[in-house]
Amino acid sequence: MADFPVKWFSSNMGGAPVLSDKTPGEMIALMKSCLSTGFNLAPIVEMTYDSATTRVTVKIGSGHGFLPWQVIEVSGADQVTYNGEHRVISVGTDWLTFAPDSAPIAGAATGDSLEIKASPSKLWEIIDEDAAGYRMSFRSTAADATNHVMIMTDDNPTISGTVDSTADAVNVVVAESYEGLDIFEEVLNQWWPASHRYWDTRYEKYNYSKKDWTLITNGKLIYFIIGYGGSSKRSAFVAGNFTTIRPGDAYNFMLSGFRAATGWSSTGYSCYSDFAKSTEPAQDSYRRIARGYNQIPGSVRYSFLKYGLVLGGSIMAPNPADNAFYVSTGRISITEPGISDRGAEVLRGFQPGIVEPLSTLPYYDQKILNDIPGYEGRPIIFVLVSASDDGSYDDADYTKWLNYEESHPYLIAINLDVWE
């Protein structure tokens, strides 16, 4: 059976969870669907195997919403080769195709209840939920994951400080020594946006201005990218285990976000992408690791050591010398504070899953390519995120993106295949 540890979810997929303007609990439902239950469950009308193409064609209802490169789960077939997880190859109005691991015994699938759905991560365990659906705790079940537990609170009206009158945001807490939703030792605390409430129609002309969200996880680390705030730009938030180089490291858990539920509607709020604006000292509080390399209790800030000036921008796009588009094949390093009087940093590890574009072309936003040099055969998704936002970027001339203005978006790319 093929193994797909990395799962990609998008608001553009059929049946995807919806983040509306301001509805408590929607982010909890989104996380649960992506990490545990799946979504877009649909009956299969017919499923057949073509030995000439070695592909299975699945006929479903019109407007099914499944996308190429999405991982789906098939169940209910009498022939086991049809069942399980598969990556979608192509789609039509009422069909999709995938390549099974081996040829099914029968040419057409049989079964009393043939079904298909967006396959969830399956490597995250939901530990506790409250009855109202406003709180949830979960952790990775991967064998090499740390024991940290994430507790997400989505505008719970019964708990003081979790509801904000001007914003829909979720509080994300990382805990050690977890015993229950109200009994744990907090080690990290950030906020994530949980709606498109402040999306502004004035920015519809830009590629980055979409009421959308993207979630990608390998079962240990989550990337959550959402368009939000006063100028409708996207920001990338991160939570989970990164690749550590410290032997026996039990605290290589990272969390980025912003520090308060208020203010994220403003175009002047400067954390519009902590992920992309990773070397800005003023943003240290928004990017934290559970403990430093010495394992002493107390979180530390982290930064990325990358190849370009910013993620997604170091050479012209396309490169004038050969009209090409380049990405780096090197790993992005994670550093934490070292000897402050020398300005030296400690190399703690590497950021899994991220592929660094060395140019930004707006056309590649939300595109998936599998022929990138150095990553042949691996699907890579490109997403525009903002480096920061001072409210000044309002120009339809994309040539200005060649100037490294902090306020314009940059491409980041995430590998949808296995993360080393």
Please report, for the chain, the start and end positions of each structural domain, with discontinuous segments joined by +.
Answer: 39-118, 124-415
Does domain 39-118 correspond to CATH entry 2.40.30.180? Answer: yes
Q: Please give the span between the terminal C-alpha atoms of the chain, in angstroms, as a whole number.
A: 20
pLDDT in tens, 70-94: 999 999 999 999 999 999 999 999 9
Residue with tokens 């903002």, as numbered in its chain: 386
Neighbours of 392 (CB within 10 A): 13
Contact between 301 and 337 (Cβ < 8 Å)? yes
* pLDDT of the residue at 401: 43
What CA–CA distance (Å, rounded) separates 44 from 47?
7
* pLDDT of the residue at 123: 96
pTM here is 0.93
* pLDDT of the residue at 400: 46
CA angle 7/252/129 to nearest 5° reads: 60
The count of C-alpha atoms lying within 13 angstroms of the C-alpha of 276, restricted to the half-sphere facing its C-beta, is 33
Residues forming beta bridges with residue 136, ordered by sequence position: 129, 152
Encoding tokens for residue 207?
């590629």
Digitized pLDDT (tens) for each residue of the chain, 420 residues in all: 578 999 999 999 999 999 987 778 899 999 999 999 999 999 999 999 999 999 999 999 899 999 999 999 999 999 999 999 999 999 999 999 999 999 987 779 999 999 999 999 999 999 999 988 889 999 999 999 999 999 999 875 555 555 554 457 888 999 999 999 999 999 999 988 888 877 777 666 666 667 899 999 999 999 999 987 776 778 899 999 999 999 999 999 999 988 765 556 665 556 666 676 666 655 667 899 999 999 999 999 998 888 776 777 778 878 899 988 889 999 999 999 886 655 678 999 999 999 999 888 888 999 999 999 889 999 999 998 877 655 444 455 444 444 445 456 788 999 999 997
The count of C-alpha atoms lying within 13 angstroms of the C-alpha of 334, restricted to the half-sphere facing its C-beta, is 26
* pLDDT of the residue at 397: 46
Residue with tokens 């022929």, as numbered in its chain: 371
- pLDDT above 90: percentage of residues in the chain: 58
Encoding tokens for residue 61?
């209802």
